[in-house]
């Protein structure tokens, strides 16, 4: 089993941070829906921010996954 490199660990950290921001943005979105209604501009912006943070969290999580097999150096001879 391979391990995560430093860059992949950083990507996982930002994925977790983006997930936290998504939950905060979803809370703000719910608050805007209850106070201002669905048709307000700020509610639409909060929905867009929530979807943005969710998509960033998912994509960074898949980027941070370790490779399934050991990668050979680029100049290694073919097996």
So where are the chain's domains? 6-64
Is residue 2 within 8 A of residue 69, CB to CB? The reply is: yes
DSSP assigned state of 38: T
Q: How far is CA 38 from CA 32, 46, 51, 61, 77, in A?
A: 8, 11, 16, 31, 60
pLDDT tens digits, one per residue of 24-58: 999 999 999 999 999 999 999 999 999 999 999 99
Give the mean pLDDT of 3-18. Answer: 92
Please state, in angstroms and rounded to a whole number, the distance separating the CA atoms of residues 19 and 23: 6
Q: Is residue 22's pLDDT more than 90?
A: yes
pLDDT digits (tens, 9 = 90+) for 56-70: 999 999 999 888 777
Q: Has this prediction a pTM greater than 0.85? A: no
């Amino acid at each position: 089993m391979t391990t995560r490199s430093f860059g992949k660990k950083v990507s996982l950290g930002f994925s977790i941070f983006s997930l936290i921001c998504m939950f905060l943005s979803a809370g703000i979105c719910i608050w805007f829906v209850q106070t201002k209604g669905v048709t307000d501009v700020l509610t639409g912006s909060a929905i867009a921010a929530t979807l943005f943070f969710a998509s960033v969290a998912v994509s960074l999580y898949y980027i941070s996954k370790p490779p399934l097999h050991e990668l050979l150096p680029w100049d290694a001879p073919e097996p």
